[in-house]
Amino acid sequence: MKDIFDKDHEAFGPNNSGLLDLRFGNADFLANYWLRYDPKSPRFLYGDTNLGYAHAFPNADLKQVILALHDRIKNAVTKDRHVVVGVGASQVLQAALYAAKRRGTRHVIARAPYFPRFRHFSEIVGLQFNADTALLRDLEIVSIPNNPDNSFVKPQIKNYIADCCYNWPQYKDVELRDDDVMVFSLSKATGHASTRIGWALVKDAAFAEDMMKYIEVQSCGVSVEALGVTKQILTNQSQIDNSFTIFKNGSDKLKNRWEKIRLAFSGLAGVQLLNDDGMFLWGKTDGDSTDYFKNLGILSVNGDYFGMNDRNHFRLNIGTDVDSFLKLIEIINAKKRATTKS
Amino acid sequence: MKDIFDKDHEAFGPNNSGLLDLRFGNADFLANYWLRYDPKSPRFLYGDTNLGYAHAFPNADLKQVILALHDRIKNAVTKDRHVVVGVGASQVLQAALYAAKRRGTRHVIARAPYFPRFRHFSEIVGLQFNADTALLRDLEIVSIPNNPDNSFVKPQIKNYIADCCYNWPQYKDVELRDDDVMVFSLSKATGHASTRIGWALVKDAAFAEDMMKYIEVQSCGVSVEALGVTKQILTNQSQIDNSFTIFKNGSDKLKNRWEKIRLAFSGLAGVQLLNDDGMFLWGKTDGDSTDYFKNLGILSVNGDYFGMNDRNHFRLNIGTDVDSFLKLIEIINAKKRATTKS
């Protein structure tokens, strides 16, 4: 049955009839002003590249660049995949949940510890998340590798969305994923989180089209400036020598940080580390972890937020800026010295 | 009562404790790579200005620039207003509807003809739109001036959101609006639709904060590149001489186009024009307007889409690019000649 997103797409979706298209509200009568106003201004800012709505959707070039990067990194099968681009993995996940809902999904599950916004995204599109009844399991979201603990987990049911945001060499040796719906983000791939670009590789054409319908209505596409920056960054990373990529650089850096982490936390009483790679340190304190770290001058996130029903588990960002990382090591070392002394 | 957006905000919202903040997943360990990699690259693309999440939220500077422009154009009272920026007016409207829902709103109304996505936005946040029962009227959305017909309409009930996207001098002599929630977009202000930036001026601080919570979760903020471009464009438009602004230029251009429209459509049998200014021509044909215009080689949108329950009304974009506009005039003139001949 057609829903509001279909009807919108029918009224405003792409049209190849060749007829004069006066359906939209693009204010392109303003274009000449911007082109004439200041020829010295970067065209990117004042030109005609961001007037109207048409540029707010990824073109074939960008999709090609995305696929080429995956082929290089070998973290996703790209053959016969449709690329859907949205405002961060956040919007892309919502779009995928909407497309699943159209196919009958009503209940979404994720196994703890899980990225907490899976609940929010599910509820935004009108789905129930982690319903109490074990039977209510239409769709799973699984992070590969998992946020917060960086483990590779297998989906429990057949129908699932693969959040592959951390499936880049910085965080773990990548898996060549071949899932039906694989979600990635520029944020975790290259660090450019504030550009707000995410994408999905999708096997089924109709599923991908439904995702696009959702993005068309929810945000009317994606910032053209963000799309342009993304294309430049990913093109660059597809072309330079392997040993100079952000992936190699980031991988070396995080490995080095984890050595420092293990050394610092080794022998620290009352704190257990539960992983040894990835963006996050995932561990457990004897008591309330949030209180424990707050007493040390550190803000952390506890297990409750990741669906663990406890405050002992904690997540700390190891991939933060260098000053914050050094401060963390300094604090932990000072704590150990104080403990040993007393 | 706290909802998921509150809890998220508590866990991840701004914190001024001065403690070492390791709550987020910002991959700032990658920053040095981008700073060192190619010093000749524009910092805007490869620098540290878009790493991490912090830049995906508008800073005080941008808010100031927005308020200054409204002060200049005199289309909105800016005293004691909070500025909320989102991914186009689309997301900002959804955020406002979410904030209204938290305050008890369950049913949204809009008077036809109305912008059709008001229904979609309402349903996305879980509100009922134009319920059949006349009593179910918690909140109104009203476009000022109205899309599609450019008339100034008064809200019918006290609790309303003012969509002021077209309250710029290009489209009509502006009104100095003093509504509780006023929504604007870069798209209609300057034409840069593909930049995907919208904003609201909001009287109530708590309402504005709830809107931000929604934007934090739905898209994790707004593209930093889009925010930067917006700041440059609006700063420029706040500073240059009045007679050189896009507002003056656009106003002259649309007035000129409307003269041509009136001339072309005058004496055309079976078509009635219902307005004479604004971005859109809103009119009525004797039969099905979509068929009528399709026969002429033009794609239009009919009244059904704007809640009119008829296909006789139609909307055409007069503010389109110059070639499309001239083609429209040419088609209408040819139609008149053919009609006169036969």
Average pLDDT over residues B174-199: 95
CA distance B187 to A61: 25
Q: Tell me the pLDDT tens digit for each residue of A85-100.
A: 999 999 999 999 999 9
A64-78, A147-161, B66-80, B233-247: lowest mean pLDDT where?
A: B233-247
Q: Is the pLDDT of residue A336 over 70?
A: yes
Q: Do A219 and B224 touch (CB under 8 A)?
A: no
User: Nearest CA to CA, how far is A5 from chain B (Å)?
Assistant: 8
Which residue in A175, A164, A200, A7 sits closest to A86, CA to CA? Answer: A200
Q: Of A59, A68, A69, A118, which is closest to residue A89 (Cα–Cα)?
A: A118
- Number of H helices and E strands in chain A, helices first, is 12, 13
- pLDDT over threshold 50, residue A39: no
Residues A102-151: tens digit of each pLDDT: 999 999 999 999 999 999 999 999 999 987 766 667 999 999 999 999 99
From A4, A31, A194, residue closest to B120, measured CB to CB: A4
Contact check, Cβ <8 Å, B246/A34: yes
Residue B226, min C-alpha distance to chain A (Å): 6
From the list A124, A193, A194, the residue facing B218 with the nearest CB is A124
Residue B177 is given by DSSP the state B
SS3 A127: coil
CB-based contact A90 B217, cutoff 8 Å: yes
Averaged pLDDT for residues A244-254: 92
Q: What's chain B's average pLDDT?
A: 90
Q: Give the per-residue pLDDT at A262.
A: 97
B11/B122 Cα distance (integer angstroms): 27
Contact between B50 and A195 using a beta-carbon 8 Å cutoff:
yes
Query: Which of A218, A265, A289, A295 to mutate: most B Cβ within 10 Å?
Result: A218
Q: Which residue of A has its CA nearest to B25?
A: A317
pLDDT band at residue A28, thresholds of 50, 70 and 90? confident
ipTM: 0.92
**Contact status, residue A67 vs residue A81, Cβ threshold 8 Å:** yes
A340 contacts: CB under 8 Å, gap ≥ 6: none
A28 and B116 in contact by Cβ < 8 A? no
Q: Give the tens place of pLDDT for each residue, A283-300.
A: 999 999 999 999 999 999
CB pair distance less than 8 Å for A217 and B34: no
Contact A226 B226 (CB under 8 A): yes
B282: closest CA of chain A, how far (Å): 12
Assess contact for A177 and A76: CB atoms under 8 A: yes
**How confident is the model at residue B42, as a pLDDT?**
43
d(CA A225, CA A233): 12
Quickly tell me which residue has 């929630």 as its tokens. B181
Average pLDDT over residues B160-178: 97
Which residue on chain B is closest to A198 by alpha carbon?
A: B219
Nearest Cβ partner for A222 among B24, B196, B324: B196
Query: What is the mean predicted confidence (pLDDT) over A175-198?
Result: 95
- Partnered with residue A130 across adjacent β-strands are none
User: Looking at beta carbons, which residues of chain B come within 8 Å of A298?
Assistant: 19-20, 22
State the pLDDT confidence band at B6, using cuts at 50, 70 and 90.
Answer: confident
pLDDT, tens only, B10-63:
777 777 788 888 888 787 877 777 766 554 444 444 445 667 777 888 889 999
Mean pLDDT over each residue of chain A, to the nearest integer: 90
Amino acid at B255: K
- Could you give the CA distance from residue B192 to residue A55 in angstroms, rounded to a whole number? 10
Q: Which amino acid is at A220?
A: C
Confidence of residue B208 (pLDDT cuts 50, 70, 90): very high
Beta bridge partners of B213: none
Tokens at A266, concatenated: 């080794």
Q: Looking at the partner chain, which of A20, A196, A249 has a beta carbon nearest the beta carbon of B221? A: A196
What pLDDT score was predicted for residue B23?
85
pTM for this predicted structure: 0.93
Task: Indicate yes or no: CB of B25 within 8 angstroms of CB of A279.
Answer: yes
The verdict on a CB contact (< 8 Å) between B25 and A317 is yes
For A306-329, how does the pLDDT look when each residue is reduced to its tens digit (9 = 90+)? 999 899 999 999 999 889 999 999
Report pLDDT for B54.
79
Answer whether residue B338 shows pLDDT above 70: yes
What value does the mean pLDDT take over residues B252-265? 96
Q: Cα distance from B341 to chain A (closest Cα, Å)?
A: 24
